[in-house]
Amino acid sequence: MSPTGSVGSILSGDIPLSVVITDVNMAKVYTLMAKKSRERGQQAEADHINTQSRGSEVKFGRALNVLLNVPTGADGHFTPYSPADLQFHGRNGMMVSNLSPQQHRLLHRALKYDMWFVSRREAGQIYAAALSLPSLAQEDKSRLQIEARPSLAGGQGRFARRGVATTTAAFDLQTGNKILVAMNAVLRAAGKPEISETEIHFRGNNGYILTISQFNERRLALVEKIGDALVDQEGLKQPHEVNMFPPQDPPCTNETCIICCDGSITSAINPAGCRHAFACDTCLDKLPRCAMCQAVKTGKAPFHQLVPPISRDHPVYHAALGDVTF
């Protein structure tokens, strides 16, 4: 077993002594553990593992052994992968040592090809694609609709407050339910089967994990809508390839686009009509209608170019800030 082997050579049998399962891939392990337990009729075992102490090598070791098809112990529970061979890699995953070649291949394939991490930005491209569908059903329009935040008291909805961190913004308004609805709307339009609720798992602020393999027809159809925003999936990595801290997501402010969670809200749709503000210019360009009121899009304009100008009589109706008057 060579400690200097590259992960790229895993499939050819040159196995490094230690590899890192990154923070995102740890979430994939837990998600796949739950799926395999459910399929085996062992839901109680998945529940048992999930109730173990959070941040525990033993908890992760049990989940890992479910994936590695290790038999249960005498007590009926999965024994953990050897704790001596598990070590947290800073705050960005778990270092695992002494996997067999077969275990390497199984794990690398599962993490890189059998599971799909969809970032907020990637999910946003699917969200925009669904909102752009000419055949979008009225029920889906309603479920994908971005609900306007109530008007803020005391003039808080002023552009002077733009850019500050907020708890009511894109991460709260781009929900897992909306993304599932968007995915299934796109799939129906393409004549593909839908994704079930058990196949998608919310990954907190940075995205979603789907138990759908690389060449599944549904994944291929959704990848087409993600386009250039698509990011390669990670498999096993060597310790020197992985930072000790996970990548930092850009802060979510009251200007963050609710569709893609990447761009900034700098314009309003339908300047002479609804004047709703909820998305970056790139996403607005893709939409045939307002995602807040469903009015047909007649155009967009930057805030400083709106006619009539922003005032108490002619506010911008901002998804995160409420009515913005100046």
pLDDT tens per residue across span 166-207: 445 566 666 668 899 999 999 999 999 999 999 999 887 778
pLDDT(288) > 80: yes
Q: In the predicted model, what is the mean pLDDT of the chain? A: 87
Q: Is 225 exposed, middle or buried (0-12, 13-18, 19+ CB in 10 A)?
A: buried
CA angle 41, 201, 149 (to 5 degrees): 140
Record the tokens describing residue 274, joined without a space.
Answer: 């609804």
pLDDT(4) > 50: no
Residues in a beta bridge with 249: none
pLDDT tens per residue across span 231-267: 999 999 999 999 999 887 767 788 899 888 889 999 9
Report the b/e string of 178-195 with b at 16+ CB within 10 A. bbbbbbbbbbbeeebeeb
Rounded Cα gap, residues 304 and 163, in angstroms: 16
Confidence of residue 163 (pLDDT cuts 50, 70, 90): very low
Instruction: State residue 156's pLDDT score.
Output: 45
The Cα-based distances of 159 to 86, 89, 208, 257, 274 in angstroms read 50, 42, 32, 15, 18
Instruction: State residue 293's pLDDT score.
Output: 92
Is 146:258 a contact under the CB 8 Å cutoff?
yes
CA dihedral 105→107→112→114, nearest 10 degrees, is 100
Is 107:113 a contact under the CB 8 Å cutoff?
no
Rounded Cα gap, residues 170 and 205, in angstroms: 10
Is 225:125 a contact under the CB 8 Å cutoff?
yes
Is 233:117 a contact under the CB 8 Å cutoff?
yes
Helix (H) or strand (E) holding 61: helix 57-67
Is 283:260 a contact under the CB 8 Å cutoff?
yes
Return contacts of 206-209, CB within 8 angstroms, 24+ apart: 206/24, 206/119, 206/120, 206/249, 207/117, 207/118, 207/119, 207/120, 207/122, 207/123, 208/117, 208/118, 208/123, 208/176, 208/179, 209/24, 209/27, 209/28, 209/31, 209/115, 209/116, 209/117, 209/118
Instruction: State residue 280's pLDDT score.
Output: 95
Determine the angle formed by the axes of helices 43-50 and 57-67, rounding to 10 degrees: 150
Q: What is the pTM of this model?
A: 0.85
Instruction: State residue 248's pLDDT score.
Output: 79
pLDDT tens per residue across span 53-71: 877 899 999 999 999 999 8
